[in-house]
């Protein structure tokens, strides 16, 4: 089928219309509209064939293939969007053949088809970007180097280039002239794309410096965030808090504001316990022989009490200390033995990491007593297990404090005040 055949059919159709009593000018118009309708029908048939027959054929091939990437392309509608080109090709190729005697109409159809195919091409490339990102997420590198922000920047560049080309076509100008004109509007563009530009720069810093990854547990007191990062995009970061709420914040806030990232704790394999108990200062005293005898029976400090007492007696003897007055010389205290007990208890606790710092220390006394702080690391970093280990430790400590003739400081309650009333 060629141009001469179309012209012959068109001429025969017009002759037939005239023979039916239709005016010659009206016959020409009817003939043109009929051919335009035929082109539209052919385009619809082409789209149906591409969208259903060809697409279903490709779908079956993809499912039989062992390649994972073509499955992702199918999921992201890459092949389905290719079918958008079918009707455009029909319009672009057939219109000049059928209505070549209408150069103005043909030119309009060609321009419109080119614009349509450019939009269709953008959608196809967009789907390809999504498929490449999805494929990247299946790799190990994606856990430490998210690229969603870069994919979004690539899309913005793609859309911007297409928009500049379309505007240049419509205005009859060269693309470089359009870009030069945009320079005068740079301040407005910077204002419009401020968040995108800041987010892009922040995304590069987050990725290069390995500051925050998807899956990291972060806390940001300023925004009330305490949860796991689920998404890092060009302009936003999504965090799923532990109360199952979702927080969304600008990407650049991860650079501008203070962020506590718990990844180091998880990678180290130990989570810190740093908690203090306040002891009543009035319960601190020198140990009597009866107290020392009783403390020696506590397994964790048996050797400590004996060795320390031998050293003290030796020191007092060498320095001729008068032992009748306890203030003279050196003496063991129930608080010191209690601190030694806590240290040995932590060292022998199977849930405490023995390769990390283990320390029991006194903090500065306050109006609420003497803070006795435990500083150590659990072997687990899981939140629920960690809280269980920490609770077990302090349950035990609270229960054994009276055995060392010590008391926990506690602000007076209503019942305490009632005892003061005669």
pLDDT band at 138 (very low <50, low <70, confident <90, very high): confident
Q: Is residue 266 part of a domain?
A: no
pLDDT per residue over 252-295, tens digit each?
Answer: 788 778 888 888 777 777 888 999 999 999 999 999 889 999 99
CA distance 126 to 113: 20
Of residues 146 and 283, more confidently modeled: 283
Question: Quick one: what percent of the chain has pLDDT higher than 70?
Answer: 79
Asked if pLDDT for residue 22 goes beyond 60, the answer is: no
pLDDT per residue over 168-185, tens digit each?
Answer: 777 767 766 666 656 555
Based on the domain organization, do 31 and 115 belong to the same domain? Answer: yes
CATH number (domain holding residue 238)? 2.30.30.60
For 40-49, 199-208, 304-313, which range has the lowest pLDDT when averaged over its residues? 199-208
DSSP 8-state class, residue 54? I
Based on the domain organization, do 127 and 151 belong to the same domain? Answer: no
Torsion-angle region of 408 (φ positive above 0: left; ψ -120 to 50: alpha; else: beta): beta
Q: How many domains is the chain built from?
A: 3
Of residues 20 and 397, more confidently modeled: 397
Q: State the DSSP H helix or E strand holding residue 69, giving kind and residue range, or none if neither.
A: helix 68-75
| Last residue of one domain, picked from the residues 97, 114, 138 | 138
Based on the domain organization, do 102 and 169 belong to the same domain? Answer: no
For 18-22, 76-80, 232-236, 248-252, which range has the lowest pLDDT when averaged over its residues? 18-22
Tell me if 315 sits within 8 A of 383, measured CB to CB: no
Which two three-digit tokens encode residue 238? 């999504």
Instruction: Report residue 178 CA to chain centroid gap.
Output: 38
pLDDT band at 3 (very low <50, low <70, confident <90, very high): very low
| Last residue of one domain, picked from the residues 118, 138, 158 | 138
pLDDT per residue over 305-362, tens digit each?
Answer: 999 999 988 988 888 877 777 788 888 999 999 999 999 999 999 999 988 899 999 9
User: Does the model's pTM come out above 0.75?
Assistant: no
Based on the domain organization, do 251 and 364 belong to the same domain? Answer: no
Based on the domain organization, do 220 and 299 belong to the same domain? Answer: no
Instruction: Tell me the residue range of the domain where 322 lies.
Output: 271-420
DSSP 8-state class, residue 365? P
């Amino acid at each position: 089928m060629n141009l001469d055949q179309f012209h012959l059919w068109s001429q025969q159709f017009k002759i037939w219309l005239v023979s039916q009593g239709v005016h010659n000018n009206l016959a020409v118009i009817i003939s043109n509209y009929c051919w335009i309708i035929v082109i539209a029908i052919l385009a619809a048939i082409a789209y149906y064939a591409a969208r259903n027959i060809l697409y279903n054929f490709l779908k079956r091939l993809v499912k039989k293939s062992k390649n994972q990437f073509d499955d992702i392309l199918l999921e992201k509608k890459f092949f389905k969007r290719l079918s958008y080109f079918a009707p455009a090709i029909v319009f672009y190729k057939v219109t000049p053949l059928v209505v070549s005697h209408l150069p103005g109409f043909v030119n309009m159809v060609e321009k419109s088809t080119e614009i349509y195919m450019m939009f269709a091409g953008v959608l196809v490339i967009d789907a390809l970007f999504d498929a490449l990102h999805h494929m990247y997420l299946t790799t190990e590198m994606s856990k430490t180097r998210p690229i969603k922000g870069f994919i979004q920047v690539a899309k913005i560049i793609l859309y911007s280039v297409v928009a500049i080309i379309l505007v240049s076509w419509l205005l009859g100008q060269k693309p470089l002239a359009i870009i030069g004109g945009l320079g005068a509007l740079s301040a407005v563009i910077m204002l419009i794309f401020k968040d995108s530009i800041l987010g892009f720069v922040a995304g590069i810093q987050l990725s290069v410096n390995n500051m925050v990854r998807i899956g990291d547990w972060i806390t940001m007191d300023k925004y009330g965030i305490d949860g796991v990062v689920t998404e890092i995009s060009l302009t936003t970061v999504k965090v799923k808090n532990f109360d199952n709420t979702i927080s969304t914040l600008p990407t650049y806030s991860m650079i501008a504001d203070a962020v506590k990232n718990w990844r180091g704790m998880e990678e180290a394999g130990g989570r810190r316990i740093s908690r203090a108990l306040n002891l009543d200062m009035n319960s601190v005293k020198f140990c009597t022989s009866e107290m020392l005898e009783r403390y020696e029976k506590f397994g964790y400090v048996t050797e400590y009490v004996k060795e320390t007492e031998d050293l003290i007696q030796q020191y007092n003897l060498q320095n001729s200390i008068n032992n009748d007055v306890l203030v003279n010389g050196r003496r063991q205290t129930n608080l010191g033995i209690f601190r030694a007990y806590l240290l040995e208890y932590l060292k022998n606790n199977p849930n405490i990491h023995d390769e990390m710092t283990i320390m029991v220390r006194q903090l500065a006394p306050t109006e609420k007593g003497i803070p006795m702080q435990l500083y150590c690391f659990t072997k687990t970093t899981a939140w629920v297990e960690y809280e269980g280990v920490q609770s077990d430790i302090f349950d035990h400590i609270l229960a054994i404090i009276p055995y060392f003739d010590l008391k926990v400081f506690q602000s007076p309650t209503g019942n305490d005040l009632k005892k003061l009333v005669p």
